[in-house]
Structure 1
Amino acid sequence: MRLATVVAGGREFVAAVQSEDRLLDLAHAARLAGMDGSAFASMQAVIDAGPAGLDAARSLLAAPPGEALMAEASVVFRAPLPRPVRMRDCLAFEAHLRNAYDQAEKRMGKRFEIPAVWYEQPIYYKCNHMAVIGHGQDTLWPSYSSFMDYELELAVIIGKGGADIPAERAMEHVFGYTIFNDMSARDAQLKETPGQLGPTKGKDFDTGNILGPYILTADEVAHPAALDMEVRVNGERWGGGNSREMHHSFARIISYLSTSETLYAGEVIGSGTVGTGCALEVGRQLSPGDVIELTIERIGTLRNRIVKPQPG
């Protein structure tokens, strides 16, 4: 099942994909069926409702009331989880790291080696969960950057909280999967890297975290996930790969993150960029007005334009 948060008729609501071009307003459908629609009040409510909420959604999709159906083209998308409880981004693809280091060497004249710790444990940082946008929304080019980049990532949404989660049980805690575009100010990031406290303004700016268009529920994806991933800029393919290339699986990542720390339902965890999944890796650069399309099979295509605000 694929779920989205959309706006139509001045109202934001959770919708499920009924067919390739039709969506079902779950809360409206529940009310028409005489059911309590509170489990569909928001995506967080759907997550919190657990398996019973998903079962109710599936029953509504099996016999959808026509009054609650709408054309996909008639809605405006938001991030499927508009305000994640927390966001973290990992660095799980070796090819991306090697490619990025090669490009950094060309720019800085300094050789970079992958540290041993990267192979030993998942590496991650915590993102700004207040700077999230969705499919079709413009992402803003920060004033201090001259080298903006996209990052093609697969992300999991935590559906059940817990601490000290064993890897063999970790996938029981996943609600679903979505696409994550981790927009990056590369010039700021390269300047900050020697400070050794992780990305700051290289990653931290308004509209910099993009999710969507849909959440594909976990029951639709075998573990470990092996989904084709592709990026196009202005219709031209710039790169891509497959999520099977992750060095650390999501099970390993979830287990590690939960060590002596509680994970909560509604958290988003990014895989990091797939190999050739950013412009830096392939020696390309974005320009204002470019349209970025990130596609992951079975989830969909996350499309956004990058806009540079005019001074004043």
Structure 2
Amino acid sequence: MKLITYTHGGSTHVGAHANTGSTVVSFTQASGGDPRFTSMLGLIQAGEKALDDARSLLDSPPKEAIHSFDEITLRPPLPNPPRVRDCSLFIEHLQPAFLNMARTIAAKSDDPEAEYERLIATGNFDLPKVFAEQVIYYISDHTAISGPDELIIAPPETRQLDYELEFAAVVGTIAKNVGPQDAEKAIFGYTILNDWSCRDVQGRVMSSQIGPARGKDFDGSNTLGPCIVTADEIGSPYGMTMTARVNGEEWSRGSTSTMHHTFADAITYLSSARTIYAGEVIGSGTVLSGSPFEIGKRLKNGDEIELEVAGIGILRNRIQLSY
């Protein structure tokens, strides 16, 4: 199923793309107000029985629960995840990104080229081996969730807003010490994540070596959507084409087949002696060439960005910059 959260007639609904593909079905409405279908998080937390009941509602919905796409407004499919962690499951892009970060920092000096050479010589911008050896992650702001077609307003202090083309898994259970053989079964579904990043701000704070921090921390900085595709419909998630377009022009293309670590690796690692929760989001990190920063391009005010992952759909947003 392609699960969505949307508004219609002033109310919020949890539902899915209808089997016809031209309409959506409101589980909220079709179930007569069943509390399991009042929010996406509630549906995820209710477990497999709730998913089975949702499939039954999708197969034979009452007429009043069927809405056309032009009648609804999509919201983030999961507006209130209990936690969001962005992982470095793709690692190919990291070395070019680190070098570009050094360029950004050096550009502020009187002699940018000499400063760049000095920074590189420190070794601080080499790719540490630990990225290949284990899953590296940081905690994202789970309150800063935005959704399809929302306007993304860059913070006033940045002069370089970037998109990041990412894939994400949604956890479907509360668990601890999940073994590798069970990790895939802990995944509820998959969505697209745009990890918006203020590169100039990020460059400054990362010189402290404590993470991206303020460079990825602003209202709406984590965009999810347009839907959550349940794990049973995706099958293997490691052969999906990933594409980014700006104003209709393709800027980035990659594949989930290039992930160095899998989501199963991430779940095994994250749940080791720690609890993972139903509804939490695990980001993949950026696919190679998956941000303007890596390919020497810059976004401008009013640009429309489309991130697409085959089998999930297109996550579209327009940006507003103050520069």
Identity %: 43
The alignment's TM-score, normalised by the length of structure 2, stands at 0.91
State the 1:67 CA deviation.
1.8
Worse overlay, 149-158 or 216-225: 216-225
Report the residue type matching 1:273 in the other structure. T
Partner of 1:305: 318
Say whether 1:12 aligns with 2:12: yes
Partner of 2:44: 47
Cα distance in 1 for residues equivalent to 2:96 and 2:72: 38
CA contact (8 A) 1:149 1:185 kept: yes
CA contact (8 A) 1:224 1:249 kept: no
SS of 1:88's equivalent?
strand
Say whether 1:121 aligns with 2:122: no
SS of 2:45's equivalent?
helix
**What pairs with 1:168-207 in structure 2 (closer than 5 Å)?**
168-207=181-220
Report the residue type matching 2:231 in the other structure. A
State the 1:37 CA deviation.
2.1
1:13-36 Cα offsets, whole Å, 9 max, x none, are 1021003331001121122xxxx6
State the 1:119 CA deviation.
0.8
Cα distance in 2 for residues equivalent to 1:309 and 1:115: 35
CA contact (8 A) 1:4 1:14 kept: yes
SS of 2:214's equivalent?
coil
CA contact (8 A) 2:234 2:311 kept: no
Cα distance in 1 for residues equivalent to 2:244 and 2:186: 29
Partner of 2:2: 2
Say whether 1:264 aligns with 2:277: yes
Partner of 1:216: 229
Partner of 2:97: 100
SS of 1:272's equivalent?
strand
**Pairing partner for 1:56 from 33, 45, 53:** 53
- Unaligned stretches of 5+ residues in structure 1: none
CA contact (8 A) 1:224 1:250 kept: no
Report the residue type matching 1:201 in the other structure. R
State the 1:60 CA deviation.
1.4
Cα distance in 1 for residues equivalent to 2:81 and 2:21: 27
SS of 1:201's equivalent?
helix
Partner of 2:77: 80
State the 1:66 CA deviation.
2.1
Report the residue type matching 1:24 in the other structure. V
Cα distance in 2 for residues equivalent to 1:98 and 1:51: 41
State the 1:59 CA deviation.
1.0
SS of 2:267's equivalent?
helix
Cα distance in 2 for residues equivalent to 1:123 and 1:234: 33
Cα distance in 2 for residues equivalent to 1:46 and 1:225: 26
SS of 1:92's equivalent?
coil
The alignment's TM-score, normalised by the length of structure 1, stands at 0.95
Say whether 1:227 aligns with 2:240: yes
Question: CA RMSD for the aligned pairs?
Answer: 1.4
State the 1:306 CA deviation.
0.7
Partner of 2:253: 240
Aligned structure 1 segments of 4 or more residues deviating by more than 4 angstroms = none
1:157-185 Cα offsets, whole Å, 9 max, x none, are 11101111112211111111000000000
Report the residue type matching 2:224 in the other structure. L
Report the residue type matching 1:21 in the other structure. S
CA contact (8 A) 2:202 2:212 kept: yes
- Unaligned stretches of 5+ residues in structure 2: 107-115
Partner of 1:25: 26
1:257-281 Cα offsets, whole Å, 9 max, x none, are 1111100111011000111111011
State the 1:309 CA deviation.
5.7
Cα distance in 2 for residues equivalent to 1:171 and 1:24: 28
Report the residue type matching 1:59 in the other structure. S
CA contact (8 A) 1:152 1:229 kept: yes
SS of 1:135's equivalent?
coil
Partner of 2:109: none
Say whether 1:251 aligns with 2:264: yes
